[in-house]
Amino acid sequence: MRVITSLISLLLFACMSKTENFQDKKKIKLITLDPGHFHAALVQKSMIDNIDSVVHVYAPPGPDLDLHLKRIESFNTRSEDPTNWEEVVYRGNDFLQKMTSDKSGNVVVISGNNRRKTSYINASLKTGFHVLADKPMAINTTDFHELTKAFKTADDKNLLLYDIMTERFEIATILQREISMIPEIFGALEKGTPESPAVTKESVHHFYKNVAGNTLVRPAWFFDTEQQGEGIVDVTTHLVDLVQWECFPEQIIDYQTDVKLTGARRWPTNITRSEFKSVTQIDQFPNFLNKSLVNDSTIAVYGNGEINYLIKGVHAKVSVTWAFKAPEGGGDTHYSVMRGTKSNLIITQGAETAFRPTLTIEPIREEKNFENIVLEHIKKVQSRFPGITLEKTKSGWQLVIPDEYHVGHEAHFGQVLKKYLEYIENKNMPSWEVPNMITKYYITTQALEMAKGENESKR
């Protein structure tokens, strides 16, 4: 009898230990689920306090997993500031069931094939995990409705579902937002018109690029919009987020009352077989890309899109374009205009700015003493960001931003992760974050439906 009692006690202790380990919010234990996009690795590019160095990975065997582990290994073995991650990997087709039964962590990172992302999010939340998901969390209207259920599950279970909005940490964008909140410089946000929106955000991306010092190898499914999502629901997620974050800071935006889509369009980028091979290392187009064939040697990828909409009475336009490869010395680019009653705030990024985002303040009209007003009130920004200065230009003033603030896109993933962990630890995520995430994905997924309808009507 004593032996039986002892065995029961040991079993209970083991179960309790596992539960306490899983529920220990003081130590973040990451789980990576089916990584297929390089963003999954960038979350771990640097070590962060309070995150366990042991990361459990659950995925089917294959090149997506292999490439992910190779990237983590490159972080561990680099000469400058190496990381010390220990990846504990489960390979198997039952990886999702294994993850939910093991409960080996408390935060799931999801960045991969977007066709499965919403179901992964729901399964993770139902198990009791917090979820940090790469964009987009929904690529069609069916996903959108599942995502709204996921947010309800997260709320019911006191869990945090959050997407990785790296562009909020880009210094030129931060400064554009800050200055827009100084009425002496910016005035008030214009309402705009469909032809001349009050806010415009455009970005150009490239299939062929370098990440963490190496040529990026993309999975073949990245070129299948049924798996990756079209450009109008993918990269535009960032742009729609920035419109809300900059133009209506800390305001709740209700997609049912505050948003009206006025137009949307989509168009393809043609990718040759040789271009496809150079970024996937695969000789032939897989069968699932047959639907995208233009001819035997070219596929059409609907990576480009534009959305025009009203948000709280303000006309906005966002657009994304995918080219194959950037010009020599170039990279992804961003263009943004916020039109105020006193000045426009313009971000440009191209050859003329050495492909570094640059912000200028351009007054609408000549105004007596306006330069002195700008110089006086820009001190509010300079106190928060020491070292930033103004340089006079023909059209206004350019903000000269010290190099230390240009940390680069890859570093923004760590910044997002830190902010997310702060929300978990302090339970202080702003009340506007969840409704505005829902609104964001409503806009992108509804725009896709509208753009597809426009294409059909032209046939």
Query: For 191-225, what is each residue's pLDDT tens digit?
Result: 999 999 999 999 999 999 877 677 889 999 999 99
Joined together, the tokens standing for residue 152 give: 């309800």
* pLDDT at position 16: 40
The contacts of residue 176 (CB under 8 Å, 6+ apart) are 246, 336, 338, 345, 347, 359
Same domain, 121 and 191: no
* pLDDT at position 328: 72
Same domain, 227 and 95: no
Is pLDDT at 5 greater than 50 in this prediction? Answer: no
Joined together, the tokens standing for residue 126 give: 């139902």
Same domain, 195 and 97: no
Same domain, 52 and 103: yes
* Count: domains in the chain: 2
Q: What is the CATH number of the domain that holds 221?
A: 3.30.360.10
Same domain, 218 and 248: yes
Same domain, 50 and 199: no
Contact (Cβ atoms closer than 8 angstroms) between residue 360 and residue 383? no
* pLDDT at position 250: 96
CB atoms within 10 A of CB 348: 18
Domain that includes residue 184, residue range = 167-457
Is pLDDT at 315 greater than 80 in this prediction? Answer: yes
Of the listed ranges 62-71, 225-234, 321-330, 381-390, the one predicted with least confidence: 321-330
Name the domain boundary from 132, 164, 196: 164
Contact (Cβ atoms closer than 8 angstroms) between residue 23 and residue 97? no
Q: What is the CATH number of the domain that holds 132?
A: 3.40.50.720
Same domain, 339 and 448: yes
Q: What is the dihedral of CA 272, 41, 31, 218, to 10 degrees?
A: 10
Same domain, 198 and 125: no
Same domain, 126 and 193: no
How confident is the prediction for the chain on average, in pLDDT? 92
Same domain, 136 and 88: yes
Name the domain boundary from 164, 192, 210: 164
Same domain, 297 and 175: yes
14 confidence band (pLDDT: 50, 70, 90): very low
Mean pLDDT confidence for 138-149: 98
Mean pLDDT confidence for 323-342: 88
Contact (Cβ atoms closer than 8 angstroms) between residue 199 and residue 189? yes
pLDDT, one tens digit per residue, over 270-302 is: 999 999 999 999 999 999 999 999 999 999 999
* pLDDT at position 333: 84
CA pair distance 196, 340, nearest whole angstrom: 13
The contacts of residue 154 (CB under 8 Å, 6+ apart) are 125, 131, 160, 161
CA pair distance 419, 245, nearest whole angstrom: 15
Same domain, 151 and 172: no
Name the domain boundary from 138, 164, 190: 164
pTM recorded for the entire structure: 0.91
